[in-house]
Structures are given as C-alpha cells and as structure tokens.
C-alpha cells in the first residue's frame, strides 16, 4: 500500500508542476501568436491599384484594403 500512495502523490505533484509551468504559461501565448501570424500573412488585394499585399501592410477602410502608396490618396 505504501508504494502505491507514494506513486499517486508523485503523479499529483508532477501534474500540478506541469499545470503551473507548462499548461498555464505557454499555451495561451502560443495560441494568440499563431493566430496573429496567420492574419498578418494573409494576402489581400488593394482596391485601387489591384496589387497584392499582406494584411500586415494593408490599410483597411470599410470593406476594402489599400496598399501603403494608395492609402495617402484615399
Ligand atoms: Zn494600391
């Protein structure tokens, strides 16, 4: 009986260590950063000169995206 209780206690400690060190800290950051990367790398078309640019570089106005050159002429 003593050995089984020790193993269960060690598993509980390991579980809480994993939850505090691995589960809580890393997962939320990984999720949000990967979503941001996907958005930034999506190609969109400039409504004025029809050039393709990444969403990170594009300027959104209404339903349209504009490139850096066209945004000053809007
Ligand atoms: Zn443009």
Same domain for 37 and 26:
yes
Domain holding 21, by residue range, is 1-41
| C-alpha of residue 48 to centroid of ligand 1, in Å | 5
The answer on 22 and 6 residing in a single domain is yes
Same domain as 59, residue 26: no
- Give the global pTM: 0.47
Look up tokens 């050039």; give the residue: 51
As residues whose CB is below 5 A from the ion ligand 1, the structure lists 46, 48-49, 67, 70
Residues 37 and 49 in one domain: no
Whether residues 57 and 37 share a domain: the answer is no
Same domain, 22 and 46: no
18-53 pLDDT, tens digit per residue, is 888 776 555 555 555 555 556 778 999 999 999 999
Say how many Å lie between the CA of residue 41 and the centre of ligand 1.
Answer: 17
* Residue 56 sits in the same domain as residue 66: yes
DSSP assignment of 21-58 equals IIIHHHHHHHHHHHHHHHHHH-EEEBTTT--EEETTT-
């Amino acid at each position: 009986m003593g050995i089984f209780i020790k193993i269960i206690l060690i598993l509980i400690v390991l579980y809480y260590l994993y939850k505090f060190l691995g589960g809580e800290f890393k997962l939320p950051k990984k999720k949000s950063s990967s979503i941001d990367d996907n958005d930034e790398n999506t190609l969109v078309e400039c409504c004025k000169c029809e050039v393709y640019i990444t969403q990170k570089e594009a300027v959104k106005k209404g339903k349209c995206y504009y490139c850096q050159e066209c945004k000053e002429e809007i």
